Structure 1
């Protein structure tokens, strides 16, 4: 069976992220003093971090307790915890159907994670909260554009007088206010505004025609 790396990139990319490299380094340093059960708790806490679940104690308080219990630097534990969160976030970026369990395990083995850690990550990403985790991650990472909050317009007309030799063309003033508190203002002559209306209507008509042709092709097949 061919190596999946020959046709699919690792979930973390071709370069190991710095957060994960530091996490692996600190895990190696603490291997003799940090038991597997404590590491599993850190991974479970990273899952709660992704889901934004409210826990009885904050992440920092929990890390402080582990630091005192096992006589490990709090800085080391923060680096390890941050690396675990990073692994989950990267694994949740592709669509749920794209990352297969065995491929995910192989990628973690390439990173030199222990089998106990790999199994714990596997249980989280492919366990009962799988859909919830992916939905939370996709909602957080999707592009967010500002929305139109208010729209005002005004017509400015200058009437001819005895001192003017010609009639000044009316102007339309538009002002938009977006949800990110930006104010956008522009002006356009009536003639140009009518051109915009015409071209918009023409574009919509052409889109309807293309859509209709596509529907006919689907019916033929």
Structure 2
């Protein structure tokens, strides 16, 4: 039977992320760190993905472990960061793309212990599987700024003795987005009316197309 790597990339890609390789290396250096502490790091990583805790909670636990096991805080932080990175990478593709056996093989290639592999397996394929994927996909989704406020004003300049002709009225628009960005522009009345007409025409054509598709579905 062919090895799965002949037709599927590892969940972390073809290049091992630096955060993951440093995590593996640091785990070897911190051999005195007992597995229950590592298990807690992995559980905190899951809570971090699910937004069930603040970053302060994880840092407090790392500080306690530093004092208890006499291990540098920086090393524990590298381990924790590596665990979070693994979960984020595993949750990037759709849930159906990540198979339990293949995931375990990928972690073995990274030289993680069987105990750690089993912990990650239980998280990614356990009762919170769907919740983890939905939360991760939502947090990684590109976001555009939303409209926070909208103002407009009509500027009309009347004919005076100093003007040879009447100036065309202008519409001034001002948008403020949730990213605290302010956008302003002006449009002549004539152009604004053209925009209104074309928008209404487009909406009408969309309704007609939607109606035709509905009839086709009913016919079938």
Superposed pair shares fold, TM > 0.5: yes
Call closer, same or farther: CA 1:4–1:210 in 2, change over 3 Å.
Answer: farther
Call closer, same or farther: CA 1:35–1:177 in 2, change over 3 Å.
Answer: same
| SS of structure 2 residue aligned to 1:161 | coil
Q: Distance in 2 between matches of 1:153 and 1:61?
A: 51
Q: CA deviation at 1:120?
A: 0.5
Q: Match of 1:26?
A: 26
Aligned residue pair count: 219
Deviations 1:39-86 (A, max 9, x none): 22221121222223349x832232233233333222111111110011
Q: Distance in 2 between matches of 1:65 and 1:155?
A: 64
Q: Match of 2:115?
A: 116
Q: Match of 1:174?
A: 173
Q: Match of 2:4?
A: 4
Q: Distance in 1 between matches of 2:179 and 2:37?
A: 43
Q: Match of 1:47?
A: 46
Over the aligned positions, Cα root-mean-square deviation in angstroms equals 2.2
Q: Mark the runs of 5 or more structure 1 residues left unpaired by the alignment.
A: none
Q: Match of 1:183?
A: 182
Shifted more, 101-110 versus 63-72: the winner is 63-72
Q: Mark the runs of 5 or more structure 2 residues left unpaired by the alignment.
A: none
Residue 75 of structure 1 pairs with residue 94 of structure 2:
no
TM-score (norm 1): 0.88
Q: Match of 1:59?
A: 58
Structure 1 segments of 4+ aligned residues over 6 angstroms from their partners: none
Q: Distance in 1 between matches of 2:135 and 2:25?
A: 29
| SS of structure 1 residue aligned to 2:95 | coil
Q: Distance in 2 between matches of 1:54 and 1:198?
A: 51
Q: Distance in 2 between matches of 1:108 and 1:215?
A: 49
Call closer, same or farther: CA 1:93–1:185 in 2, change over 3 Å.
Answer: same
